[in-house]
Amino acid sequence: MIDAGGEATGDDRYKQHLLSDLDSFFANRRDLNRTLQAIIISHPHIDHTRLLMDVFQNFTVKYFYDGGDEIGKGVKELKQARSYVTTHAIHYEAIRDKNIGEKGFTPAGLSTQSVGADVRFLAGARDCGNANNNSLVVRVQDMGRTALFTGDSEIDDDENCEEGQVEHLLERYDGTDMLRADVYKVGHHGSHNGTDEAFVSAVSPELAILTAGHKETKGPGPFHGFYFGHPREGVVELLEATAGNRTPPIGGYTYLKGTRNSKATDTIIEGRLISKAIYCTCWDGDVTVAMNKGADKIAVSVGEHGLAEENRPVRAATLVDLTSELSTSALEFANEPDRSHASGSPPDSHPSDRPRWRFVVVVFLIVLVIYAVVRMHELRSEDLRKKIAGELIEKARGGEGWEFTRFEVGALVREIRRDQPLLWRLWPQPRTSVDEVVEQAVAVLIPESYRSSDERGERKSLIERLERLHSDPGNSANMPSRLPSTAFLIAATSASVLLLAIQAVPSVGSHMADFFGHSSFLEELWTGLLAAIVGTGATALGRRSVQHRQTKKSARRRQRGKNERKPKPETNI
């Protein structure tokens, strides 16, 4: 089974359809014991992974293959599946492009002895910035007939890969027939950047299958075939050059471009005559391809199987005569939806292809900038307190006309603030209370050493005068600490680490996906709450530690003052 996607419809119609289809298949093949030899996920986009866990939970699976991707709109389902296979003794393998040679690559679980056909990966994940260019490309050959599945491979390169997956395939297999196929599952839903003339020439398919959502399906959300213009007229024209005839022809439709306007009519070509062997789930519904035992006939049948919209005609017709000798194995292309995209005009490249770890890095850089600003403000506050404290000490040592009242200290604070350079006056002024200035002045005086008893007596007298200015002389814990910026940095770092953990550790992403029903918003909200808890805890512990140290320091200072006031015993010599 290749891919397990489903269109966003707001209900479980695609889930029920897929499971019903597989139930019907296994009902006719009881010898398989509801067992899939392997599931292959081409790339981590939700329209290819949405129903993956439903398949795992309802059927037995022996092998699971993907590209080992860590980013993409559907990567949560992949990580959940990787966690599942680990606990259920299912063999998992990440198919990396560097391990694939000129003849392709066949893992043990897909050997001819295991599946009865020649199955090869022609391309694997390459760590491209665009996850479409990490698509696993699969070639299946049986009885001389070949089918080619290219996922959402694109022509265009990206920031990490100098060539798209399509160009990569053409270069790797140039001069060989490895890309030649009778049946071509058209790449990227028939997008203009999924298939070009050179690739059609290399594949030369007799039969082309397009998978895209129906034109009338325009919600919920903007991620549907109509908005992205799939399939494109230019691609259908290219496929007509090699495809066989379709009997009878039908009236389908193609697109000239994508649009964000659900009422647009100038983007679509209605009643487009389809006279070649080109099938699309968008106008045919489900498409089933089979061949007889002699492999001299390929048969195609189409039909909605209950997925028709109210205004969508149901078609169920045999387009090529089926014979009683048809193989019990068939290639089925379910009514696969269009891929998801983000905001803006519907491009043909997935916006989520920008690696999410980069987003986390950017967020953390912003965090560092905010931390730097907060820390600068704290340092500014500390510098201002020290300056005012120095002035206060000078006043305490004999400033003329200085009555040494809290009112005068407040006036001194305002005066020094006004004397700051213009740049600092433009900066938000830090709050500086009288108590903070008094404590800072005492903190300056305490470590000073004096040689004579007169100097020691002066320090003692100054400290006593300063203590009388304090609103609560018994409490010296009003001095601001560095905790606001430190707590912020701890909380923000925790959030960044948790975001990375969700992306990098399958078990974390899987458990969160299970708990929140695959809601990325709730996951990010939960991440923020965890970070807030960590930051709050760190703040509380830090404040408690600082208060404890300051209380002990205050107690020692009071004890030292008492010792200094005690009369020294006379010594008789």
Domain ranges of the chain: 1-94, 182-340, 358-565
Collapsed DSSP state (helix, strand, coil) of residue 571: coil
pLDDT at 499: 61
Q: Name the more confident of 477 and 175.
A: 175
pLDDT, the chain, mean = 77
Per-residue pLDDT at 325 exceeds 50 = no
Task: Work out the average pLDDT over 477-498.
Answer: 58
Per-residue pLDDT at 178 exceeds 80 = yes
Task: Work out the average pLDDT over 5-15.
Answer: 85
Cα-flanking dihedrals φ and ψ of residue 399, to 5°? Answer: -65, 130
73-82, 263-272, 424-433, 560-569: least confidently modelled range: 560-569
Per-residue pLDDT at 137 exceeds 90 = yes
Provide the phi-psi class of 49: left if phi over 0, else alpha when psi is between -120 and 50, else beta: alpha
Per-residue pLDDT at 469 exceeds 80 = no
- Find, among 64, 38, 53, the residue nearest to 5 by Cα: 53
Strand partners, 63: 38, 91
Triad 368, 372, 378: Cα angle to 5°: 140
DSSP per residue over 252-310, as a string? EEEESS--S-TT--TTEEEEEEEEESEEEHHHHBEEEEEEBTTS--EEEEEE-TT---T
- Find, among 309, 278, 116, 139, the residue nearest to 206 by Cα: 278
Per-residue pLDDT at 344 exceeds 70 = no
Cis peptide before 337 (omega within 30 of 0): no
DSSP state of 189: G
d(C-alpha 458, C-alpha 196), whole Å: 91
- What is the pLDDT confidence band of residue 238, given thresholds at 50, 70 and 90? very high
49-58, 239-248, 518-527: least confidently modelled range: 518-527
27-43 residue pLDDT tens: 999 999 999 999 999 99
Tally of residues, the chain: 573
Number of neighbours of residue 15 by Cβ within 10 angstroms:
17
Task: Work out the average pLDDT over 405-426.
Answer: 71
Per-residue pLDDT at 425 exceeds 90 = no
Task: Work out the average pLDDT over 459-465.
Answer: 74
What tokens were used for 313? 């005609």
Task: Work out the average pLDDT over 214-240.
Answer: 89
Provide the phi-psi class of 248: left if phi over 0, else alpha when psi is between -120 and 50, else beta: beta
150-163 residue pLDDT tens: 999 999 998 899 99
Contact 15, 42 (CB under 8 A): no
pTM of the model: 0.59
Contact 93, 107 (CB under 8 A): yes
Q: Which residue has the tokens 């959402």?
A: 152
